[in-house]
Structure 1
Amino acid sequence: MNHLPEFSPAAALISNGDDDIAARLREFVQDREAFSDNTWRQLLSVMRVGSRWAAEHGRRFLPMEPADLRDYLLWLQAAGRASSTISTHAALISMLHRNAGLVPPNVSPLVFRAVKRINRSAVIAGERAGQAIPFRLRDLLLLDARWSASDRLQQQRDLAFLHVAYATLLRISELSRLRVRDISRTPDGRIVLDVAWTKTIVMTGGLIKALGDLSSARLTEWLTASGLIHEPDAFIFTPVHRSNRARVVTDKALSTRALEDIFTRAWQEASPPSPARLNKNRYRSWSGHSARVGAAIDMASSKYSTAQIMQEGTWKKPETVMRYIRHVDAHAGAMVDLMDNHK
Structure 2
Amino acid sequence: MDQIDHHSLKILEELLSRCKGAYSDVTLRGYRNDLVVFKSWCAERGASWLPADPETIARFVDDEAPTKAIATVKRRICAIQFAHRILDLPSPISHSEVHLALRRASRAKRRRPRQALGLTADMLSKIVAKCPDTLAGARDAALFSAGYDTLCRSSELVAMRVEHLSPDLSSIEVPRSKSDPFGNGRIAYLSPATIGRLEHWLDRSGLHHGPLFRGLHTGKVPQGAMDTSSVRRLIKVAAKRAGIQKEEISALSGHSMRVGAAQDMLVAGIDFLGIMQAGGWRSQGVLARYVEHASTAQMHHRRWQQLAQRRASTV
TM-score by length of structure 1 reads 0.81
Instruction: Determine helix, strand or coil for the equivalent of 1:157.
Output: helix
The CA deviation at 1:191 is: 2.6
2:38 to 13, 37, 50: 50
1:184 to 166, 183, 205: 166
Measured against aligned partners, the alpha-carbon deviations of 1:101-135 in whole angstroms (never above 9, x if no partner) come to: 11111111111111111111212xxx111111111
Using the alignment, how far apart are the partners of 1:131 and 1:315 within structure 2?
16
The CA deviation at 1:271 is: 4.3
Question: Residues 150-229 of structure 1 correspond to what in structure 2 (within 5 A)?
Answer: 150-185=132-167, 189-203=168-182, 206-228=185-207
Using the alignment, how far apart are the partners of 1:75 and 1:153 within structure 2?
50
Corresponding residue for residue 58 of structure 2:
70
The CA deviation at 1:49 is: 0.8
Using the alignment, how far apart are the partners of 1:154 and 1:107 within structure 2?
51
Aligned residue type for 2:96: P
Measured against aligned partners, the alpha-carbon deviations of 1:216-244 in whole angstroms (never above 9, x if no partner) come to: 0001100101111xx32x211112233x3
Corresponding residue for residue 294 of structure 1:
260
**Cα distance 1:61–1:287, how it changes in 2: closer, same or farther (>3 A)?**
same
Unaligned runs of 5+ in 2: none
Aligned residue type for 1:74: D
Asked if residue 29 in structure 1 is aligned to residue 17 in structure 2, the reply is: yes
Using the alignment, how far apart are the partners of 1:43 and 1:9 within structure 2?
17
Asked if residue 322 in structure 1 is aligned to residue 288 in structure 2, the reply is: yes
Asked if residue 270 in structure 1 is aligned to residue 242 in structure 2, the reply is: yes
Measured against aligned partners, the alpha-carbon deviations of 1:233-272 in whole angstroms (never above 9, x if no partner) come to: x211112233x3323x1xx422112222211212212243
Asked if structure 2 preserves the Cα contact closer than 8 Å seen for 1:10 and 1:61, the reply is no
Corresponding residue for residue 138 of structure 1:
122
Asked if structure 1 preserves the Cα contact closer than 8 Å seen for 2:77 and 2:93, the reply is yes
The CA deviation at 1:141 is: 1.0
Using the alignment, how far apart are the partners of 1:62 and 1:100 within structure 2?
9
Corresponding residue for residue 272 of structure 2:
306
Asked if structure 1 preserves the Cα contact closer than 8 Å seen for 2:171 and 2:187, the reply is yes
Aligned residue type for 1:309: I
Question: Residues 87-98 of structure 1 correspond to what in structure 2 (within 5 A)?
Answer: 87-98=74-85
Give percent identity, aligned residues only. 27
Using the alignment, how far apart are the partners of 1:104 and 1:31 within structure 2?
18
Asked if residue 238 in structure 1 is aligned to residue 214 in structure 2, the reply is: yes
TM-score by length of structure 2 reads 0.87
Instruction: Determine helix, strand or coil for the equivalent of 1:275.
Output: helix
**Cα distance 1:259–1:10, how it changes in 2: closer, same or farther (>3 A)?**
farther
Instruction: Determine helix, strand or coil for the equivalent of 2:294.
Output: coil
Asked if structure 2 preserves the Cα contact closer than 8 Å seen for 1:164 and 1:211, the reply is yes
The CA deviation at 1:137 is: 0.8
Number of aligned residue pairs: give it.
303
Using the alignment, how far apart are the partners of 2:83 and 2:170 within structure 1?
42
Aligned residue type for 1:117: R
Using the alignment, how far apart are the partners of 2:79 and 2:184 within structure 1?
29
**Cα distance 1:202–1:87, how it changes in 2: closer, same or farther (>3 A)?**
closer
**Cα distance 1:101–1:25, how it changes in 2: closer, same or farther (>3 A)?**
farther
Instruction: Determine helix, strand or coil for the equivalent of 2:166.
Output: strand
Asked if structure 2 preserves the Cα contact closer than 8 Å seen for 1:191 and 1:210, the reply is yes
Identify the structure with the greater helix proportion: 2
Instruction: Determine helix, strand or coil for the equivalent of 1:159.
Output: helix
Asked if residue 12 in structure 1 is aligned to residue 8 in structure 2, the reply is: yes
**Cα distance 1:267–1:285, how it changes in 2: closer, same or farther (>3 A)?**
farther
**Cα distance 1:27–1:155, how it changes in 2: closer, same or farther (>3 A)?**
same
Using the alignment, how far apart are the partners of 1:101 and 1:25 within structure 2?
16
The CA deviation at 1:25 is: 7.8
**Cα distance 1:208–1:10, how it changes in 2: closer, same or farther (>3 A)?**
farther
**Cα distance 1:267–1:204, how it changes in 2: closer, same or farther (>3 A)?**
closer
**Cα distance 1:275–1:168, how it changes in 2: closer, same or farther (>3 A)?**
same
